[in-house]
Amino acid sequence: MGEWSSRVIPIVRGLCLLYVTHKYLGTTVVTYGPSMLPTLGITGNVLLMERISTRTGKLRPGDVVFFRSPENPRRVVCKRLVGMEGDQVTYVVDPKNSDKCNTIVVQKGHVWVEGDNIYNTKDSRNFGAVPYGLVEGKAFWTLLPRKDFGSLAPKPK
């Protein structure tokens, strides 16, 4: 082995470790926008997201999850998991204009997600249940802003 390869091999191993960690274990995610107020801020939060729960089937209603948007697969969206496959979910159809509610049963292989700020969010009420395969991970820790550092807050009442 030459001097060149003795320098490159540790770098390649480090990059491989970073890739595997990001792809299969977890990563940091930056969120912004009003849909998860008051749990997450409008100007941005930095969260830790783990990917293990999605692979092991350990997601539960109340978890904050990240998933590929069914409308634009280039976007990753953050919402609250409200219902799992087979769950009965009652939701307000148009909270800005009426109190009319619908009840559905989440179909097999899907989850129901909603933003905590029901007055300013685009969620399953708009695009329907999300295929489980689009769910990328679960948020479990807030890194920034510093005042929110720690485990993610439970769903507001």
Catalytic residues: 35, 79
Q: Are 101 and 107 in contact (CB under 8 A)?
A: no
**One-letter amino acid for residue 97 of the chain:** N
Q: 124, 140, 143: which is closest to 132 by C-alpha? A: 124
The H or E element that residue 18 is part of is: helix 3-20
Cα 17 to Cα 3: distance, rounded to the nearest angstrom: 22
Residue 148 phi/psi, 5-degree rounding, is -100, 5
Cα 135 to Cα 84: distance, rounded to the nearest angstrom: 12
Q: 145, 128, 53: which is closest to 91 by C-alpha? A: 128
